[in-house]
Amino acid sequence: MLFLCATLGSAQPTAPTAAPAVAEDIEEIVIVGQRTLSTLRRQMEDAELRVYDVFNGLNDDRRYDIHCQQVAPIGSNIKRRRCAPQFADDAERDEALAFLEGHPVIPAAQVIAEQNGKLRERMAALAREHPEFLEALKEHYEASIQLKEARAAYFR
């Protein structure tokens, strides 16, 4: 700042000249202030939703589509966000119906565990084939790291 003032102070008045040519127009200036934990959490959740939206658009087997909803666990009125693939919701529904109807029950946890490996393989394949999905995954990862670091610093 002092250097800038000294430079401006030593300038001699001269005859008016044409305005200097601007090499490049500035399109956007982004100023990021200190972000709160709730803001970082919201950004991470938004990035996660983007991952699921891109995945669901690219995925051709609807059983693997992932949907999020606000649910209150049994015994609580506090809603939490739950994101799950369709096959998990179907397995839990089928387990409950089989139990109520007195049929043999295939545990939902078993079905989910078997399908989770296939979901990971599907996601990995789509990330290799589609740069927009890989980019969404990277954005989510970076947002989750920022939130983790901010939480660690806040609760130190």
Q: What is the pLDDT along the chain (156 residues), one digit of tens a residue?
A: 333 333 334 444 445 555 555 557 778 877 766 779 999 999 999 999 999 999 999 999 999 999 999 999 899 999 999 999 999 999 999 999 999 999 998 899 999 999 999 999 999 999 999 999 999 999 999 999 999 999 999 998
Alpha helices in the chain (DSSP H): 2-9, 37-58, 86-101, 108-129, 131-154
Closest-CA residue to 55 (of 129, 142, 144): 129
Closest-CA residue to 44 (of 156, 119, 129, 137): 137
pTM score, whole prediction: 0.73
* Cα within 13 Å of Cα(111), Cβ side: 17
What residues have CB less than 8 Å from 70, skipping those under 6 apart? 79, 80, 81, 82
